[in-house]
Amino acid sequence: MSAYVVDASVLIQYAITQEYTPAVRVLIARMYQGDRLYVPEFCLLECTNVIWKAVRFNDLAPSIASQIITELQRLPLQIEPVISLLPNALQIGLTYQLAIYDSLYIALAEQLDLPLISLDERQVRAAAAKGLTIQPLADFSSI
């Protein structure tokens, strides 16, 4: 079994069809087979904001948005508190000129000693510069 820290840029593609949705669905399916996906506690908040924007600006029906939120809530994600990560996230953010939200994913991956899966290029570059393993989403093209 494998474990990863997953960014909201990846997780949202499970719910809203985008370029990497097929690979993300494979990743989620692997979670039901024993893999663990770790996210900071605010990850679903970030995803909900993307869904809100889809309703507000892209004509996603509110009823569909509610169904998506319910489905995301049911995923057996490993949700981690961020309070102990804040000092490291601040340093990461300052060093790499990265938003604290993005820095927290890096700090979590570092704390748990797990690969990071993200589609955010700035975040990936910062994580790689810190010596973290980046797991390409393309590795999840099939189960």
Query: What is the Cα 95 distance to its own chain's centre?
Result: 21
| pLDDT of residue 47 exceeding 90 | yes
- Percent pLDDT > 90 in the chain is 94
pLDDT of residue 143: 54
Q: Which two tokens stand for residue 96?
A: 């790499």
pTM for the whole thing?
A: 0.94
Q: For residue 141, what pLDDT band results from cuts at 50, 70 and 90?
A: confident
Distance CA 101, CA 129 (A): 18
Go through 17-43 and write b for each residue having 16 or more CB atoms within 10 A of its CB, e for each that does not.
eeebeebbeebbebbeeeebbbbbebb
pLDDT of residue 142: 65
Q: Which two tokens stand for residue 75?
A: 């995923």
Summarised one tens digit per residue, pLDDT across range 27-40 is 999 999 999 999 99
Residue 140 DSSP class: G
Closest residue by Cα to residue 43 from 76, 77, 68, 71: 77
For the CA atoms of 11, 3, 108, 15, the dihedral, rounded to the nearest 10 degrees, stands at 10
